[in-house]
Structure 1
Amino acid sequence: MEPPAAPGPERLFDSHRLPTDGFLLLALLLYAPVGLCLLVLRVFIGVHVFLVSCALPDSVVRRFIVRVMCSVLGLLVRQSDPRLRGAGTRVFIANHVTPFDHNVVSLLTSCNTPALSGAPGFICWSRGFMELGVTGSRAELVDSLKEYSAHQGNPPLLLFPEEAATNGRAGLLRFSSWPFSILDEVQPVALQVRRPLVAVSVADSSWITELLWTFFVPFTVYQVRWMPSVPRQADERSEDFALRVQELLAMELGVVSTRITAADRTEHMKRLRHTARLPFAPGGEPLLLGGSLSALSDRLPTLNPSPCARCPFSAALSQRPAARPRVPPSLPGGAPEDVRVVAMAQQVKEVLPHVPLEVIKTDLVQTNCVDTTIANLLEGRVPFFPESKEAEDLPAPSTSQAAAASGIQGSVAAPSSKPATKQFAKSPVERHLSLQERKRALYDYARRRFAEKHGAARAGGSP
């Protein structure tokens, strides 16, 4: 049995908080008046919880009182196997789900979490982070934490190697190796969070927003599972140690251990924000800066009537026997999905022959649309190195869109298009129009290559 495929970034992070199910959305609307009342009431109670936690010293009594008061705020904390908790371990390793994971664990045992980001000060201290005063590299941070752990009187460390929060349902981010360079023994802690009506956490949401939603919903259940301590094996590198603990924690949570990093999450969120800023057509089709992709593709030569308005390239080529891409001999028994990707890649290759085939396949796996892949390649969203002399006519979009557009306008000039201005436009409107002209030149170039390629094939096939 083959292992399950690793989930993509879109499955690890929630970009929408509200439910998509109609029944749940109706229930949320009916609950909204009650939730708003709870929100106002819990804000005042939360101030008292904060004052109590600041006034009392760290002890079992303080943790019990604060835990009971947090249950009034809707934070219900449960734990399993408490006898395994802190059995001589100085470093706890946990998965990251919400901005308050360290606060929840601190309700069960004494621990400190160093502040890795954000400005030090009152906000950092009030959120329960430990300020080390280290703003340099990770090596300086590790040295500071080693010195901290050397003092037996200090509480254990609670670290989150993922360095970014996920939804906790699909998989774990790749663990960083620096938390496993502090000591040779760590104790994994599995965190699971459940909440009715809305998502537990949303990517790129501030901790204030998450706190208000926590006060709004009826309750949020944190399940903390303590796992046995894991020692470092002989001559085991920190990277291998981190990977082994990640696999153990993923098995305990019932999720997949991925190789997606926090940097990949940042890039994924940038793409989501870029897509969200694009306007939408009245019919619901997303628009690009130079107009809708479907509107641009309508200006391409139509070889045969296409039943798919969103993918005229693939539909037109698939209806012509002469234009059907040939599947390589190495895939005679391959999956239908692989054959379809290869077929679409050949279609894109005929339009953009200077783009490497592997780059086209990689983007097609993500987009699943010929038009979208062509647009990504023309607009420079997918970097690549040209593999033929045709790159001289069409510079690679990986350098810059302006260089690519100027190169194309020099070799392929549309009669109705205006020459690109050589000076930087002062007005935003003029700069936007200049970008539209460059994008239109890119599409005209692809359209002409498409027409020349298949116009010649049609002429050669006619009697």
Structure 2
Amino acid sequence: MALTADKLVNDERFRGDNPIQFLLYLPFGLLLMVIRIVLAVILWIASFILPDKSAARQLISTLACLTFGVHIKVKGSRDPKCSVLVANYVSCLDSLAASHALGCITLRKWKVPPFFASTLGIKSTSQFVRKQHFAENPDKPVLLQPEGGPTNGKGLLKFTDWSFPLPNRVQPIAITVERALTHPCVSRAARWRDALWHLASARSVYTLRALPPLERHDDCERDFAERLRRAIADALQVEATDLTWDDIRCARPAAPRPMPPGGNSERARLARQVKEVLPNVPLHDIMKDLAKTRSVDVTITNFLEGITPYTPEPPPGTEPQPSTSQAPPKYVTPAPTGVFPKTAKERQMSFQERKAQMIAEARQRYIEKHGLHVALNC
């Protein structure tokens, strides 16, 4: 199934199943943020004092990694013959990790103060002159991130944001980030917010995997860029989607549909339809699920699939039998079939068959109960 725009973003910063751990860490994270902001100010002052030499810049880059809690792992080696590197976009500090580990500069369209730009290894696209750069810095390659913006790493966007034509030999770089308790990046949020979360996090582990260089033969630039994208997607084991950064930026979380006028009576009518098919499901559970789904079919599916748990009630007119054995389970889930289908298509067909069978049985009980004469379709 193709990924959609909402699947490539994280609308919530917290990750994990236990929010208590995050709440316990939060005071320490705030204290760590304050300390690192002070260190960033000291680093800013040191940048004016230290000479503009490669050793001094390397020292500032190392201190910046320590300030932001950036830990870097490099797999593979950079090809010295490649003047251009192409990588996926993960977070606002990709350029710092790449500059420190690979000795490259990153081109970005968004404006960054000069100190932060030099420290993070960023150069403005509007001020970049390719020939002049490679004449002055022949050993310092340029890192391009043509996705245009960060995603949550579940897919790779189309490459559309090119600063200049690609050379005949390019090395792809696959970047991944791991961080405890919080997501490294939340798309649609301001970049400075993600920088603050870097300051508050104990450590963000960047893994830079240098892939084998690719050479252009008779490919046009679009085909060559697609080859680069496929190589990065295969290394990350993610899907190369047809979405662009504009699709991600313009996407908005789906808002729940408002209940139409007379919603209570409409919901009661829908609940009666569900009750006719699933007589053992309590009415208040049906009403509660309908308040979220607004759909009879979706609510029936939720109960049949066990997505919405419920306590079954006895059919009308029957006396509850005292039981000396173990009490019935509180929640009802579908009985396992014993064989788990291998493909999504087979699982969908199995679900549809079980759903149709249960609906047919419930319909037959309803017809027999009311003595209706209805011709059943085979």
What is the TM-score when the length of structure 2 is the normalising length?
A: 0.66
How far off its partner does 1:190 sit?
1.3
Match of 2:145 among 139, 157, 160: 160
Match in the other structure for 2:231:
248
Match of 1:98 among 68, 88, 91: 91
Matches within 5 A, 1:143-292: 146-148=130-132, 151=135, 153=137, 155-168=140-153, 170-176=154-160, 178=162, 181-234=165-218, 236-268=219-251, 271-272=252-253, 275=255, 286=256, 288=258, 292=259
Contact kept in structure 2, 1:162 and 1:261, CA below 8 Å: yes
How far off its partner does 1:65 sit?
5.3
Contact kept in structure 2, 1:146 and 1:182, CA below 8 Å: no
Match of 2:26 among 29, 32, 56: 32
Q: Distance in 1 between matches of 2:21 and 2:112?
A: 39
Q: Distance in 2 between matches of 1:88 and 1:116?
A: 26
How far off its partner does 1:194 sit?
0.8
Q: Distance in 2 between matches of 1:80 and 1:53?
A: 30
How far off its partner does 1:160 sit?
0.3
Match in the other structure for 2:62:
67
CA spacing shift, 1:315–1:65, aligned 2, 3 Å: closer
Q: Distance in 2 between matches of 1:125 and 1:69?
A: 11
Matches within 5 A, 1:128-139: 128-133=121-126
Q: For 2:11, what is the secondary structure of its paired residue? A: coil
Q: Distance in 2 between matches of 1:156 and 1:254?
A: 26
Match in the other structure for 1:116:
109
Q: Distance in 1 between matches of 2:99 and 2:27?
A: 32
- CA-to-aligned-CA distance 1:200-251 (integer Å, 9 cap, x gap): 11112222211211111111111111122211122x1111111111111111
1:80 aligns with 2:72: no
Report how many residues are paired. Answer: 294
Contact kept in structure 1, 2:172 and 2:212, CA below 8 Å: yes
How far off its partner does 1:11 sit?
2.6
AA aligned to 1:306 is: V
AA aligned to 2:11 is: S
Q: Distance in 1 between matches of 2:7 and 2:295?
A: 29
Q: Distance in 2 between matches of 1:121 and 1:69?
A: 15
How far off its partner does 1:296 sit?
4.3
Q: For 1:178, what is the secondary structure of its paired residue? A: coil
- CA-to-aligned-CA distance 1:3-57 (integer Å, 9 cap, x gap): xx333223321110023523xx111111122111111111111222334455443
Q: For 2:209, what is the secondary structure of its paired residue? A: strand
Contact kept in structure 1, 2:61 and 2:120, CA below 8 Å: no
AA aligned to 2:192 is: I
Match in the other structure for 1:380:
none
Q: Distance in 1 between matches of 2:66 and 2:120?
A: 18
Q: Could you list the runs of 5+ residues in structure 2 that have no partner in the other structure? A: 276-285, 301-344, 353-374
Matches within 5 A, 1:375-386: none
AA aligned to 2:247 is: D
Contact kept in structure 2, 1:180 and 1:238, CA below 8 Å: no
Matches within 5 A, 1:371-450: none
Match of 1:44 among 38, 41, 53: 38
Q: Distance in 2 between matches of 1:294 and 1:195?
A: 47
Q: Percent identity?
A: 25
Q: Distance in 2 between matches of 1:37 and 1:301?
A: 53
AA aligned to 1:44 is: V
How far off its partner does 1:121 sit?
7.2
Q: Distance in 1 between matches of 2:169 and 2:237?
A: 23
CA spacing shift, 1:219–1:132, aligned 2, 3 Å: closer
1:306 aligns with 2:274: yes
Contact kept in structure 2, 1:93 and 1:160, CA below 8 Å: yes
Q: Could you list the runs of 5+ residues in structure 1 that have no partner in the other structure? A: 135-143, 276-285, 319-333, 342-460
The higher-RCO structure (CA 8 Å, 6+ apart) is 2
Contact kept in structure 2, 1:176 and 1:242, CA below 8 Å: no
CA spacing shift, 1:293–1:240, aligned 2, 3 Å: farther
